[in-house]
């Protein structure tokens, strides 16, 4: 079989899982979960959410509440 370098070492990558954060939550923990998943500061994610909500209100709120409903809280 012809496997690439990434196929051989795929099992060595840590499996990341998206979740809503209990510790870093203000409302439902979605911004805290996004910050944990990507390794960003939670303040940056919250500021980006507020700016997005100002300019794209409906899509941002729909995405936020769908994420709230569809993800687990850890």
Q: DSSP assignment of the chain, as one string?
A: ----HHHHTGGGSPPP---B-STT-SSSSHHHHHHHHHT--HHHHHHHHHHHHHHSHHHHHHHHHHHHHHS-B-
Q: How many domains does the chain have?
A: 1
| Residue 10 included in any domain | no
| Residue 40 included in any domain | yes
Q: What is the pTM of this model?
A: 0.71
Cα separation of 45 and 15, whole Å? 22
pLDDT band for position 13 (50/70/90)?
low
| Residue 32 included in any domain | yes
The stretch 30-52 carries a mean pLDDT of: 91
- The residue that leads in pLDDT, 1 or 54, is 54
Q: Within a 13 Å sphere around the CA of 46, how many CA atoms are in the beta-carbon half?
A: 10
Query: Is the per-residue pLDDT at 3 higher than 80?
Result: no
Q: Which pLDDT score is estimated for 7? A: 56
| Residue 51 included in any domain | yes
Containing structural domain, residue 22: 17-70
Q: Which pLDDT score is estimated for 26? A: 82
């Amino acid at each position: 079989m012809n496997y690439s370098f990434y196929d051989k070492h795929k099992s060595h990558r840590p499996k990341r899982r998206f979740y809503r954060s209990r510790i870093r939550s203000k409302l439902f923990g979605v911004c805290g979960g996004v910050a944990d998943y990507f390794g960003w500061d939670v303040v940056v994610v919250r500021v980006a959410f507020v700016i997005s909500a100002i300019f794209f209100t409906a899509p941002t709120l729909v995405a936020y509440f769908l994420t709230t409903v569809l993800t687990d809280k850890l």
